[in-house]
Amino acid sequence: MNLYKLTLLALLAALAVIGRYAFQFIPNVQPITAVIILTGIFLGSLSSVILGILVVFLSNMLLGMGIWTIWQILAWCIIGLTAGIIGSVWKKVPFLFIILFAVFSGYFYGFIISLTTYQITGHFWPYYLAGLPFDTAHAIGNAVFTFLLYPLLHTLLQRYAKGKFRMM
């Protein structure tokens, strides 16, 4: 991994952390999942997994650490890994597919986070079903953030992939 890629991942992590902090007043609506998905598709699985770990630790330093931190890392790393695989299988991933994957990822993330309660209390289904409205907000937020961030990140990450960044 070169210096440009590390710098790019640091900028993407900052974007995701600031976005999560800025939207904390809306439960489960945050740009993290969208940024991780787009990073996975354009830069690969390793980059999105590194980004997922970075973002969870950095944002949870601001918003609070807990047992859920482990499950957040697991969920976002699986989502990033899957996005990276999708990006490597399809060279040009259809935009509609990316949006649908973002919606699915909101529900998948909620499912994984619900396992936290099972780990502590032994009850999964009541917590998971009670959290479905929040998972729906996360899924819709993912679709909106993906729609809004795709043009910017697509251009930025494609320029990186083609090596069109110049040293100043």
Q: What 8-state DSSP symbol labels residue 65?
A: -
Average pLDDT over residues 119-143: 91
Q: What is the mean pLDDT of the chain?
A: 91
CA distance 107 to 158: 28
pTM of the model: 0.92
C-alpha to C-alpha distances, 6 to 52, 135, 158, nearest whole angstrom: 14, 31, 16
- Predicted confidence (pLDDT) per residue in 96-105, tens digit: 999 999 999 9
Measure the CA angle with vertex 96, ends 101 and 128; round to 5°.
Answer: 30
**pLDDT for res 167:** 43
Percentage of the chain with pLDDT > 70? 95
Percentage of the chain with pLDDT > 90? 73
Domains in the chain with CATH codes: 3-21+30-162 (1.10.1760)
- Predicted confidence (pLDDT) per residue in 139-166, tens digit: 999 999 999 999 999 988 877 776 655 5
